[in-house]
């Protein structure tokens, strides 16, 4: 069974700082990896999707990398803003199991003005 | 752009009552999913449907049933609610790759 771990569980940084969130997974036979943002009491918003054949994806101030061989992904957030405060979740997808997605428990980010 | 729509958004049930959570997507996706989210445990898969007419158990299926009514709709039923089923329930859909989530149903069983 795929296990997904996110470290740290919580992170507090001053506004303007660059930061890295980590995601590790135990089974490297993944189809894709997706990063989500979740605001309190809300649903999940997709941030970046990396296919298994890709090494990274970028969207604005966000950059996600994928290293399947080591079972790791990182989400880099540049020049953090208070509006980035949220919980960030990573999920790995497996094609051979009906595209099931396995989630980490998330990193709760607070950006201090 | 409706995406994935879940109803209701909030629900309080008494132990032993039954209810159905509804989910519909308008993106013509083949796969649909039901997850529950509990503090400290992340999202756990209850049931999924890889295509219309098929359903499979996920990690935590006990106490739940599902119906893939058509390509658009995937419902989750609690036949006899228990306090342990107090949670936030999310429906999602995907077309092989990217997953899209609904806004969730916050269910409390008293």
Distance CA A113, CA A91 (A): 29
**How far lies A7's CA from each of A17, A108, B18, B100, in Å?**
18, 10, 38, 24
Across the interface, whether the CB atoms of B92 and A101 are under 8 A apart is answered: yes
Across the interface, whether the CB atoms of B42 and A36 are under 8 A apart is answered: no
The whole-number mean pLDDT for each consecutive block of 10 residues of chain B, a chain of 110 residues, reads 90 97 95 93 91 92 96 96 97 86 96
Q: Nearest CB to B58: which of A31, A49, A100?
A: A100
Q: Is the pLDDT of residue A94 over 90?
A: no
Distance CA B36, CA B65 (A): 14
Q: Which structure tokens are listed for B109?
A: 């069983």
Confidence of residue A99 (pLDDT cuts 50, 70, 90): low
How far B95 CA lies from chain A's nearest CA (Å)? 9
**Does A87 touch chain B if contact means CB atoms closer than 8 Å?**
no
Q: Looking at chain A, which residue has its C-alpha nearest residue B88? A: A41
**Closest listed residue to residue A103, CA positions, set B8, B95, B60, B56:** B60
Across the interface, whether the CB atoms of A100 and B100 are under 8 A apart is answered: no
Task: Quick: pLDDT tens for A4-62.
Answer: 999 999 999 999 999 999 999 998 888 899 999 999 989 999 999 999 999 999 999 99
What DSSP character marks residue A71?
T
């Amino acid at each position: 069974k795929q296990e997904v771990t996110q470290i740290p569980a919580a992170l507090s940084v001053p506004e303007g700082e660059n930061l890295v969130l980590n995601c590790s997974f135990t089974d490297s036979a993944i189809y894709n990896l997706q990063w989500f943002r979740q605001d309190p009491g809300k649903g999940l918003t997709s941030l970046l999707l990396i296919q298994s054949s890709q090494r990274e994806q970028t969207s604005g101030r966000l950059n996600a990398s994928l290293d399947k061989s080591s079972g790791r992904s990182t989400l880099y957030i540049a020049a953090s803003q208070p509006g980035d405060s949220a919980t960030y979740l990573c999920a790995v997808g497996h094609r051979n199991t009906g595209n099931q997605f396995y989630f980490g428990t998330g990193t709760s980010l607070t950006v201090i003005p | 752009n409706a995406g994935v729509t879940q109803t209701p958004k909030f629900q309080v049930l008494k132990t032993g009552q039954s209810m159905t959570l509804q989910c519909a997507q308008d993106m013509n996706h083949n796969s649909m999913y039901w997850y529950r989210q509990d503090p400290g445990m992340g999202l756990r898969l209850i049931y999924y449907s890889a295509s219309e007419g098929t359903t499979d158990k996920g990690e935590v299926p006990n106490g739940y049933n599902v119906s893939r009514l058509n390509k658009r709709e995937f419902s989750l039923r609690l036949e006899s609610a228990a306090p342990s089923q107090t949670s936030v329930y999310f429906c999602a859909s995907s077309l092989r790759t990217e997953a899209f989530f609904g806004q969730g149903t916050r269910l409390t069983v008293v």
